Amino acid sequence: MKIVIITGGSRGLGASTAIECARSGMGVIVTYNDNPGKADEVVGAVVAGGGTAAALKLDVGDTGLFPAFRDAVVAQLTAWGRLDFDYLVNNAGYGLFNPIAKVTEAQFDGLLNVHLKGPFFLTQTLLPLIADGGQIINITSATTRVATAGVAPYAAFKGGLEVLTRYMAKEFGERGIRANSIAPGAIRTELGGGLNGEFEVMLAGQTALGRVGEPEEIGSVVASLLSTGNRWINAQNIEVAGGYII
């Protein structure tokens, strides 16, 4: 059984990714920060479907917690009869809408820690546990291509994560570990407070397919990219956005 770790897997894109990966036969470890109940719901859904799943607490914005998280991962893997895992999906994140002129240093640092520093050092911490031939997927954003007023720090750090993805592919290639990033467009999630009617209509009008995306439409792409059928895709950023502002 292949095993995937999905950060921020208790809701939204992470939860959908967990469900889709489980449907593909993977064992799933999801992380949550402050909502264990939602994480338990995801685990329950996977188990109800005949899959294998577990939830572990992790604040991706606090690197000091990473060694203890690694130990918790080892314990869970041991319970499943494994010493390593196959795939890491750096998904955890949150949104902030604020123009550059009003962004505080605390807001800037919070976004930096979760969206760039966290994935960097979490990957570093877990790298010895990733099996040769595994894969890392970093969830970025279409806002790295299309400038959207009010999300400058978020988009900047997601852009940094895209660059980091290529460096991961370069440096981990000798172990056969691939690294790719997926950039969602407008998706119906709770990120940044979710979508209201007027905002959704605007985003749908800017998308070639005439609507916003659903979380499972990202999760299914992640699961597909992790399959052996896509084993020659490496160091790529794949936008999954229905044709957003083209």
Q: What is the pLDDT of residues 47-94, one digit of tens each?
A: 999 999 999 999 999 999 999 999 999 999 999 999 999 999 999 999
Q: CA-CA distance, 176 to 89, in Å (whole number)?
A: 17
Give one DSSP letter per residue of 42-98, joined into a string: HHHHHHHTT--EEEEE--TT-GGGHHHHHHHHHHHHHHTT-S-EEEEEE--------
Asked if pLDDT for residue 191 goes beyond 90, the answer is: no
- Per the residue annotation, which of 32, 87, 94, 154 is the catalytic one? 154
Q: CA-CA distance, 218 to 220, in Å (whole number)?
A: 5
**Beta-carbon neighbour count of residue 83 at 10 Å?**
9
Where is pLDDT greater, at 193 or 214? Answer: 214
- Residue-averaged pLDDT of the chain: 96
94 is catalytic: no
Where is pLDDT greater, at 188 or 78? Answer: 78
Asked if pLDDT for residue 192 goes beyond 80, the answer is: no
Domains of the chain are 3-240 (3.40.50.720)
